[in-house]
Amino acid sequence: MKAQDLMTHPAVTCHVNDSLSAAAQKMWDHDCGALPVVNDEGRVTGMITDRDICMAACIQGRRLDELLVNCAMGRHVVTVGLEQTIAQVAQLMAEHQIRRLPVVDEDDLPVGVISLNDLAIEAVQPGTQMTGGVSKVAHALAAICQHRMQTQEAA
């Protein structure tokens, strides 16, 4: 099973220069908690979560329509290709302690998003083709949930 088989598509994205208000509205409209952030060329340059939006507004004491996505987005982006296996996706999520990955095509343009939720739902389906599904999801979840300070101390 590959990323393209489980991803949510098409990719709902926002632009680096969109307002946080516009990004929050897209999240609301599409019932998601994170969006890939794209640049003028359409390539993924970041990720923004609903938590990022709330924290930016709170810390800066400004309204969402006064702040741009680029001031709150995470800049360390991990992406996966359409053909990457679900095992590879789970490993990347565990390694980088992230719950959602943009899926990109051969031109490095976002085509979907795959989440830990997608993996968990697939892992418990009867007749799943996800080899080692539940244990891979459990491993990824455990790694993601580990406090970052513990992870850094172990390194």
**pLDDT confidence tier of residue 125, bands split at 50, 70 and 90:** confident
In this structure, how many other beta carbons lie within 10 angstroms of the beta carbon of residue 58? 9
The helix or strand, by DSSP H or E, that contains position 34, with its residue range, turns out to be strand 34-38
Q: In what order do the strands lie in the sheet with 14-15?
A: 14-15, 34-38, 44-49
Residue 129 pLDDT:
64
Longest C-alpha distance within the chain, in Å?
A: 50
The rounded percent of the chain whose pLDDT value lies above 70 is 81
**pLDDT tens-digit series, residues 79-108:** 999 999 988 998 898 899 899 999 999 999
Q: Please give the tally of structural domains in the chain.
A: 1
**pLDDT tens-digit series, residues 59-75:** 999 999 999 999 999 99
Three-state SS at 9: coil
User: For the ranges 17-31, 34-48, 49-63, 128-142, which has the lowest average pLDDT?
Assistant: 128-142
For the segment 41-64, the average pLDDT, to the nearest whole number, is 95
Average pLDDT, the chain: 87
**Tokens found for residue 33:** 């908690």
68 touches 20 (CB < 8 A) = yes
Helices 133-145 and 116-123, packing angle to 10 deg: 150
Angle value at C-alpha 91, between 86 and 97, nearest 5 degrees? 120
**pLDDT confidence tier of residue 150, bands split at 50, 70 and 90:** low
For the segment 106-133, the average pLDDT, to the nearest whole number, is 80
Q: Domain range for residue 73?
A: 3-154
Q: What is the CATH number of the domain that holds 62?
A: 3.10.580.10
